[in-house]
């Protein structure tokens, strides 16, 4: 008789054999193992894909940073080159401006003197106007300023003055202004170099 409490083939026993000689116990373990293997395979593929994506992103960022560093280095080099060139130009212009100052002092001395003919002052003024047009000073637009000095600077020191720096008033204001302009323009050229701009002076 059949045991109703233990029907045949209802429970899986380690030693029992089914049809075809395969163990049902082995089938019971096979399903979760296949599931685990499939999960590991899917997770591995997704992980590899994520790693490849992150690696490509990192490489793109590194390349972008490298390009930015090279661009910044080029800007710094251009800035230094422009600054050095600007210093040379400023020094040359300051030297030319010192010569203009010396001529202005002499012209003002002639203006304030009672013993030097007026014709000499007219020649000095023409020479000063010509000096203002030389390349190192032309960008300052000094010609109108000099004409203003010639017309309106009538300041003279006391009689028998031997110090030329005591003559004149307006000309000293213009000389300080021109020197400030030279310094300002040097900084503007350096700024234009680092910002990749071209300024026309």
pLDDT at position 199, please? 45
Is residue 103 within 8 A of residue 131, CB to CB? The reply is yes
Q: For 43-84, what is each residue's pLDDT tens digit?
A: 887 878 888 888 888 888 888 999 999 988 888 888 788 778
Choice between 188 and 4, residue whose per-residue pLDDT is larger? 188
For residues 105-109, average pLDDT: 88
Q: For 6-45, what is each residue's pLDDT tens digit?
A: 555 555 555 555 454 555 656 667 777 777 877 788 888 7
Choice between 137 and 119, residue whose per-residue pLDDT is larger? 137
Q: What is the Cα–Cα distance from 61 to 78, expressed in whole angstroms? A: 26
């Amino acid at each position: 008789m059949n045991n109703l409490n233990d029907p045949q083939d209802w429970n899986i026993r380690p030693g029992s054999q089914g049809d075809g000689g395969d163990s049902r116990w082995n089938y019971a373990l096979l399903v979760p193992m296949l599931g685990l293997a499939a999960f590991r395979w899917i997770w591995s593929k997704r992980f590899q894909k994520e790693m490849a994506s992150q690696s490509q992103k990192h490489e793109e960022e590194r390349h972008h940073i490298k390009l930015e560093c090279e661009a910044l280095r080029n800007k710094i080099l251009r800035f230094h080159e422009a600054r050095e060139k600007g210093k040379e130009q400023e020094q040359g212009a300051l030297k030319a401006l010192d010569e203009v100052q010396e001529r202005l002092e002499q012209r003002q001395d002639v203006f304030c003197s009672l013993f030097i003919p007026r014709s000499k002052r007219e020649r000095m003024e023409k020479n000063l106007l010509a000096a203002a047009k030389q390349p190192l000073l032309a960008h300052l637009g000094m010609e109108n300023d000099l004409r203003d000095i010639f017309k309106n600077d009538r300041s003279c020191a006391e009689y028998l003055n031997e110090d030329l720096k005591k003559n004149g008033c307006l000309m000293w204001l213009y000389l300080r202004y021109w020197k400030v302009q030279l310094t300002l323009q040097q900084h503007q050229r350096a700024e234009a170099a680092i910002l990749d701009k071209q300024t026309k002076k």
